Amino acid sequence: MTSTPGHIELERSIDSIRIGSRHRTDLGDIDALAASIEKQGLLQPITVTPDGTLVCGARRLAALRQLGVRKLNVWVRSGISDGLAQLLAEQDDNALHKTLSPTEAATLYREVKMLLAEDARRRQIASRFGAKQGNPVSDGAATVAAPVTSLDGYARARAALLVTGTRSYTTLERIGYLQRIVADENLDEALRRLATTELDLISNGGSVTAAHRRMKTQLAFAELEQLAADAAQPALIRHAASAGTSRVHAAETTQTDIELEQLAREALSRAKTATKAKNARPATSNDSNLPVRSFVFLWNDLHDWWLRYDDAEIVSELTEDQWEQFEATLAGTIAFAERMRSLRDDSPAVARVSTRSLSR
């Protein structure tokens, strides 16, 4: 028996090693790995927990079985949770390791991150309250954990290192964002399908950053549409959200992904700001009237709106009810404009109100 920091090397029967559940079922080209082991030997031992659960080396184990090996030397690693040990079984440090796909890596990263944070919290609690030797809550020192100052930041960086070999976790977090959308049954099915499509693009070599940005744009756009269509929302909110959807839709073919995401984010922020402004305004006997500031915002949003649409396309797609609503809104707008013209003609002082005072 030999030992290294964090490990003990023992001889073990190959049939006594438990593999457990795994994220990956395709182990890749085992024949090539078996040929390499037969020629050069096992360059790095397989690692197991004290109870014989595989930590890393699934492909090596499969190759050794194929070669008819019955016993082998293994490294035994202690001090980690059972759940973390099973997830670390997804790793294989051999040079002929079959690389995880981006989505496989993100799935494994998410679970390793969660378990690392749990293990770190247990050790932190044990240390904080002066846990005595043998305290079952404490896992003690472990090669996969170290004293931490920020558990979440530690877990992200350490999980990324374990899964990918680097501490950079931004890409994995972005893929995880898309995976959570796909799994969220409370979201609109169309959004979940879009997220699935983006994950497929990533699996085929597409940009993770671009996919993440497009999905954030679509979520913001969907929230704007929801606000605009919600009759329970105050008119100010619906106007701001509707104008925002129009701006984002009109820019889809002319703006870059970065610009479109920013535009959608700003439009949503503006709609939510309108919500706060409406809620902050004290109730009055004439609370159904919106402030002048809202009027200015609305007409700024509608500036040159008729240049943004294809009239023939709209005529062909509008329902009868939608056309009647347009006609009624147009008629009401014209009548309102006529009343304002009359008031301005009767009160010259009103006409000289500066745009600055309106926008304050």
Closest to 51 (Cα-Cα) out of 8, 5, 18, 15: 18
Residue 148 has pLDDT above 70, yes or no: no
Indicate whether this model's pTM tops 0.85. Answer: no
- The per-residue pLDDT for 140 is 36
Residue 351 has pLDDT above 50, yes or no: no
Cα distance between residue 79 and residue 145, in whole Å: 9
Residue 304 has pLDDT above 60, yes or no: yes
- The per-residue pLDDT for 284 is 42
Q: In which element (H, E) is residue 10 found?
A: strand 7-13
pLDDT band with cut points at 50, 70 and 90 for residue 137: very low
Q: Say which residues have a Cβ less than 8 Å from residue 143's Cβ, sequence separation at least 6.
A: 5, 6, 7, 77, 79
Cα distance between residue 298 and residue 75, in whole Å: 69
Residue pair 118/142 in contact (Cβ under 8 Å)? The answer is no
Task: Provide long-range contacts, Cβ within 8 A and 24+ apart, for 304-309.
Answer: 305/246, 308/246, 308/250
Cα distance between residue 18 and residue 306, in whole Å: 68
Q: Which residues of 250-282 are buried (b: 16+ CB within 10 A; e: fewer)?
A: ebeeebebeebbebbeebbebbbebbebbeeee
pLDDT band with cut points at 50, 70 and 90 for residue 151: low
Residue 142 has pLDDT above 70, yes or no: no
82, two tokens: 């059972």
Cα distance between residue 249 and residue 217, in whole Å: 11
Q: Which residues of 20-31 are buried (b: 16+ CB within 10 A; e: fewer)?
A: eeeebeebeebe
The gap from C-alpha 316 to its chain's centroid, in whole angstroms, comes to 38
pLDDT in tens, 198-227: 999 999 999 999 999 999 999 999 999 998
Q: How many CA atoms lie within 13 A of 183 on its CB side?
A: 7
Strand, coil or helix: what is 356? helix
Cα distance between residue 298 and residue 296, in whole Å: 5
Cα distance between residue 138 and residue 195, in whole Å: 40
- The per-residue pLDDT for 86 is 53
- DSSP structure class, residue 91: B
98, two tokens: 């079959």
Q: Cβ of 216: how many Cβ atoms within 10 Å? A: 18
Residue 282 has pLDDT above 90, yes or no: no
Residue 32 has pLDDT above 90, yes or no: no
* Max avg pLDDT among 63-77, 220-234, 294-308, 323-337: 220-234
Whether the CA torsion 281, 286, 288, 292 is positive or negative: it is: negative
Residue 233 has pLDDT above 80, yes or no: yes
Q: What share of the chain in percent tops pLDDT 70?
A: 71
